[in-house]
Structure 1
Amino acid sequence: MLQPIGDRVIVKVKDEEEKTVGGIVLASNAKKKPTEGEVVAVGEGAYASNGEKIPMSVKKGDVVLYDRYSGTNVEYEGEKYLVLHEKDILAIAK
């Protein structure tokens, strides 16, 4: 498994629906880029300028919302992941 470094988080991207509520099948270029996923790995955290470690506020298993254009897409062992900085996570879904 991938292990992020610093304040990075690896998120398993949630697949977008391929049909609308009315049952219309969407073309691949009509689908919106996903903005939700499950955290599968968390880095050790960032360090403040005084050397103090800043703990991460997300943990493995959290479902998070993130900005549509943030992070780096990665494919690993056939699965799609997104590597984000913790600051790019907008919310944790409860």
Structure 2
Amino acid sequence: MGIQIHPYVIKQGLGSDKCVVSALIDRYGKHGCTSEMLQVFDEVAQMDVGSCNALVSGLARNGLVDDALEVFRQFEGQGIELNVVS
């Protein structure tokens, strides 16, 4: 479903909507589409807690625990306070 929605999001100019971006990252993570998940995250101009949580969760869910921990630490170093979801 995320694969079908992603082109629509881009076409409609919703790529800067934090909720939409977080939902896409989450959807790709839940379906094991880690490269697409990372692509969406990389396209985000402004990182926020929601998209960061979705990324860390998606990485961990797909067995990329070391990557998830590394990303978590990077966010902490940048002052992004992740919440209990992470």
Higher strand share: 1
The structure whose RCO (Cα within 8 Å, separation 6+) is larger is 1
Q: Which has the higher helix share?
A: 2
TM-score by shorter chain over 0.5: no
TM-score, structure 2 as length reference: 0.19
Q: Report the TM-score, using the length of structure 1 for normalisation.
A: 0.19
